Amino acid sequence: MAKAKIKPTSDIVLLKPIEASDVTDAGIMLIAREPEQTTKGQVLALGPDCEEVEVKDIVIFPAHLAKEIEVDQKQYLLIVEGDILAKEMN
């Protein structure tokens, strides 16, 4: 995992977006998605006030609340920690 050249402030979380698959594990092709869907991302960096998530966590959040940014021709997301709905447990 490459280290991003961004250090979030306060309670901001830097995420690497995880693309949703259009095919389920059972091979069913998904046709349409709602525009205000939830999405997933991997936590790359945290602001100093973040308490609930850790670097490398996979989190679920409303897609419309994340701010898209580009650094070195790579896409990242910034989101307030309180807007994260859940994290995947291994």
**pTM metric for this prediction:** 0.81
> What does the DSSP 8-state code read for residue 25?
T
Query: pLDDT by residue (tens digit) across 10-66?
Result: 999 999 999 876 666 777 766 655 555 889 999 999 999 999 999 999 999 999 999
Domains (ranges, CATH) in the chain? 12-87 (2.30.33.40)
Predicted confidence at residue 38, as pLDDT, reads 81
Instruction: pLDDT band for 1, please (50, 70, 90 cuts).
Output: low
- Asked if residues 20 and 85 have their Cβ atoms less than 8 Å apart, the reply is no
Long-range contacts of 71-77 (CB under 8 A, 24+ apart): 71/4, 71/5, 71/6, 72/5, 74/2, 74/4, 75/17, 76/4, 76/6, 76/14, 76/15, 76/16, 76/17, 76/44, 77/14, 77/15, 77/16, 77/17, 77/41
